[in-house]
Structures are given as C-alpha cells and as structure tokens.
C-alpha cells in the first residue's frame, strides 16, 4: 500500500470515480467539491486529498488542509473527510493516513493538527484528544479533536549498547495473531522498562537466523503516536540500516499503528 495526493496524481479521473463509490454522504460531498473545483476554494489552495491505495484499489482517503467545515483561520491545519472502504475497516488503515498527515504537519512547521467530527471514541484510538465544541458554517455543533506535533529526543537511547532476550524469533508466529509471522527477531532489553511498564521491546537486525539472546547497538527508535510504548531498533552486526529497510521490515506489525521513526 502507498499514499498519494489526488492533485498530483496522473490518474485523477480514475481516483475521483473511486471516491464517488464511497457509501458516506460526506464522501459524496468530497467528490462533488473536487469535481466542481470548489474544494480548494473552501479549504485552502494547498489542500491535499490523501489516497491510501493498493494497486488500483482505493483503501481510504482524507483531506489535509488549512480549513475544514469550521472556518476559523486561527486554527489550522485540519484533517477532514476521513473514510475507509468497508472491506478494509477494522484493520486500522485509517491510521496510516493520519500518520501521513501528521508527518506533513510536522514538515510544514505546525505544532498541532485538528479533526472535526460527530464521532466519540474513534479518534482517541489514533492519538487525538477531545478539545472543545465548535460550530460549523451551518451553526451545527462539532466535536473538535487535536493532537500535538512533537519532536522527541532519543539522544540518550540511540547509540546505546544493549543486551536482551528474543521471545519471538524470525519465523515464529504472533501469540495472538498466528497469521503474523516475524521476519525479524523481536524481543526485549533485559532490565529496561518501557512506557507500558513491561521490558523495552526491540526489533533486532543484523542476522537472518532466529536468536535466543542478543547484544547490539540501538540505531533507531520507532515512536508510536497512538500507543504508550516505543520500539527500539537494534543492530547486532554494526552495519548501517536505511530508513526504508527498517520500515519495510517492521511493517508486518507496525502497519496497525501510527508511528514515526527516529534515527
């Protein structure tokens, strides 16, 4: 799966027709606003329509824009029109769009990002907290959620030498999700507690063999945006690891969470 922006896509007509297939009234509205070239007039000229796609399938979509249904220029940016197609629901695919929007907001220098919704208990799963009630352009009360865009400091972690135990070696299955097979060794650092109160979890790189224990150097930290535990990236052979290599290798599990990799 990958994320593209509708406005920079070379298949705009096709993706617009896919947006139209959504079974949600706001999705139909988004389709009409794009079709009639009104979306950027409403939400701002730098508006993006983020599409999570798998081949020719549209999995989910949302907007990332200066404004949303609440027209208050002092509050920006906004994520809006958040939608997942029925067959992809329950797999937290929406989280990958919100993760991408978070990265855009960080790149653009914003300190917070907002969502307006009538839902309760949904966006809390993705690291957002209820802020306050605000009225939209029609005077209707909307629940506004927001999340802070932060820079984490892992200077005391990255570069540290650590040792620990592998409890899920390469080739083993997740204890609760047997369809999930570990392509890298996964374990914990002995004696170091993480944010969830358990020992610090690690992905261990540098071998294609299953391990029982490990000793290596922390070369990165995967900071989960919607969870209270980080994952340390450990190299046991000292070879450099690219961002792409790490993210590809841990996607089997991290695809279900929102995260940001620090190297």
pLDDT at 117: 92
pTM of the model: 0.88
Q: Which residues pair with 58 in a beta bridge?
A: 53
pLDDT at 100: 96
Question: C-alpha dihedral over 38, 40, 41, 44, to 10 degrees?
Answer: 160
Q: Does one domain contain both 126 and 223?
A: no
155 belongs to a structural domain: no
Q: Does one domain contain both 186 and 119?
A: no
Angle between helices 12-20 and 25-35 (to 10 degrees): 150
**Radius of gyration over alpha carbons of the chain, in Å?**
20
pLDDT at 134: 93
Q: Which range marks the domain in which residue 90 is found?
A: 2-148
Q: Does one domain contain both 172 and 133?
A: no
Q: What average pLDDT values come out for the chain (263 residues) when binned by 10 residues?
A: 96 97 94 97 96 96 95 93 90 87 96 93 92 89 94 95 96 92 96 86 97 96 91 92 95 92 96
Residue that is last in its domain, among 100, 126, 148: 148
Q: Does one domain contain both 113 and 13?
A: yes
Residue 11: CA atoms inside 13 Å, Cβ hemisphere, count? 12
pLDDT at 198: 86
Q: Does one domain contain both 140 and 172?
A: no
Question: C-alpha dihedral over 24, 27, 28, 31, to 10 degrees?
Answer: -160
Q: CA-to-CA distance for 49 and 192, rounded, in angstroms?
A: 42
* Residue at token pair 């352009």: 137
Q: Does one domain contain both 133 and 13?
A: yes
Q: Please give the tally of structural domains in the chain.
A: 2
156 belongs to a structural domain: no
């Amino acid at each position: 799966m990958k994320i593209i922006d509708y406005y920079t896509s070379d298949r705009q007509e096709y993706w617009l027709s896919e947006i139209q297939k959504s079974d949600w009234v706001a999705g139909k509205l988004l389709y009409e606003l794009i079709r009639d070239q009104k979306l950027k007039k409403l939400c701002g000229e730098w508006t993006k329509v983020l599409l999570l796609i798998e081949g020719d399938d549209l999995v989910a979509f949302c907007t990332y824009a200066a404004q949303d249904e609440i027209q208050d220029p002092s509050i920006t940016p906004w994520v809006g029109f958040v939608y997942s197609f029925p067959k992809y629901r329950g797999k937290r695919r929406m989280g990958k769009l919100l993760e991408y929007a978070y990265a855009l907001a960080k790149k653009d220098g914003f300190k917070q990002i907002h969502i307006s919704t009538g839902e309760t208990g949904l966006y809390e799963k993705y690291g957002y907290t209820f802020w306050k009630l605000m009225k939209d352009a029609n005077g209707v009360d909307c629940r506004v959620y927001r999340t802070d865009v932060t820079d984490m400091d892992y200077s005391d972690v990255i570069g540290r030498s650590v040792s620990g135990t592998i409890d899920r070696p390469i080739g083993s299955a997740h204890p609760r999700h047997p369809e999930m097979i570990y392509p890298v060794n996964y374990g914990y650092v002995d004696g170091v507690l993480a944010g969830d109160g358990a020992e610090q979890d690690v992905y261990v790189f540098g071998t294609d063999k299953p391990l029982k224990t490990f000793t290596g150097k922390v070369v990165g930290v995967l900071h989960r945006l919607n969870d209270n535990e980080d994952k340390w990236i450990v190299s046991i052979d000292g070879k450099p690891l690219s961002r792409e290599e790490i993210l590809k290798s841990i996607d089997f599990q991290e695809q279900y969470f929102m995260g940001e990799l620090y190297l």
